[in-house]
Amino acid sequence: MRGEVEIWEGDKLIHKESNLLVNGAGEAIADMLTVSPSLSGISSASALLDTSNYTIQAISFGTDKVAFKNNAHFLDAAKGTLLSSVHATETVTAVSDVNQNTSSYNPVVSISSPPNPELSVLEPNCNVEATLGGVEVSSVFSGPDQNVNLIPKDYHRSELAALGSLSAVGASILGCFPDGSSLGGTDFSAFSGAGYAAGDVAFSGNYDSAVNEASSMDVSGFVNMIMSGSPGTTTGYAMSSTLSGLCVSGGADSTNSGIVEYSMLLGSGDVGFSNLYGGIYNMGLWTIDTKESRLAGNSPPYSFGPLDNPRKYKLFATKHLTKNLGYIQDNGTAAGAINYSDLTIKWRIHFT
């Protein structure tokens, strides 16, 4: 079994490389092969036999742990004052390390952890260092070591209720994807140097999210898989709309037999907003962790919900990138920060 990842910008292939299957892939297969068929006779347990419990069900995105201590994750007193004053509009800020004449943000990052088959998360120890009203933000929402999704108003109000009136500020620090277009997207401002006055604004704008418009990503940053095709029913790689979430398709012809493709569209606003928080340097495919889901009090079938997702996930495969998916530069008079394109992720798992 092997996998490969392709990243497309329109009809242009910008990256293609093999992935890393981690130990969680073998564990998921072992769980599937050892579940007892006798459960079919127990009405309260028969749902454990559903194949969806043992197949890939989500994709997520992340960056390195240094990025979580910098960029839009960074908080000092001056930035806290600014965010508190504009929290109703949830403007997200980033300290820019470029000069006033540029309109592209270069995030502060380091080197991601090397690929490791024993990893159970995209990047270990990705916690922000911020305190609001005497409360450590990471203690209110302990992130899953990847880019999370707390900016949307309905999401942060429920998850960060312990921060009270500072919940929007906490959401701004945690990130990492904007509101959908139907809710007006989310404003951002990037500042040059360490100042937060109007004269320090290097560039600003508004991004909207494809994943949040479709309600396909939960607060922890997991994009839900939607069934769109399966081996024997889909010729080639015919897919449902990748705007709706993570699509899956299997080839029915002899050429593509034994290959399953997972595909999704990551909107331009999702890419641009993620870049303010450190960009996207790694991705992961996830199965449902049935044991941890049950220990958390959830029973199959494990339905998906962006606000209250009952699923616990197990990492199946990862892809670490050497170049940020959010990297962009100004092009003449075209500002890079507002010139992002949608990206299509195609992730194929070869079972033969």
Among the ranges given (137-151, 308-322, 327-341), the one the predictor scored with the smallest mean pLDDT: 327-341
Task: Give the CA angle between residues 120, 124, 127 to the nearest 5°.
Answer: 130
Residue carrying structure tokens 């004053």: 85
Q: Which two tokens stand for residue 90?
A: 């949830």
pLDDT in tens, 70-88: 999 998 888 888 888 776 5
Rounded to 5 degrees, φ, ψ at 102 are -110, 150
pLDDT mean over 136-162: 90
Separation CA 180–CA 318 (nearest Å): 27
Look at residue 236 in the predicted model and tell me its pLDDT.
53
How sure is the predictor about 97, in pLDDT bands with cuts at 50, 70 and 90? low
pLDDT above 50 for 231: no
Q: Is the dihedral angle over the CA atoms 152, 218, 245, 22 positive or is it negative?
A: positive
Strands of 201-207's sheet, edge to edge? Answer: 92-96, 186-192, 201-207
Report how far apart, in Å, the C-alpha atoms of 321 and of each of 7, 126, 339, 347 are: 11, 17, 22, 14
pLDDT in tens, 240-294: 678 888 998 865 555 556 788 899 999 999 999 999 999 999 999 999 998 888 8
Whole-prediction pTM: 0.91
Look at residue 78 in the predicted model and tell me its pLDDT.
84
Residue carrying structure tokens 């194929």: 348
CB 221 within 8 A of CB 242: no
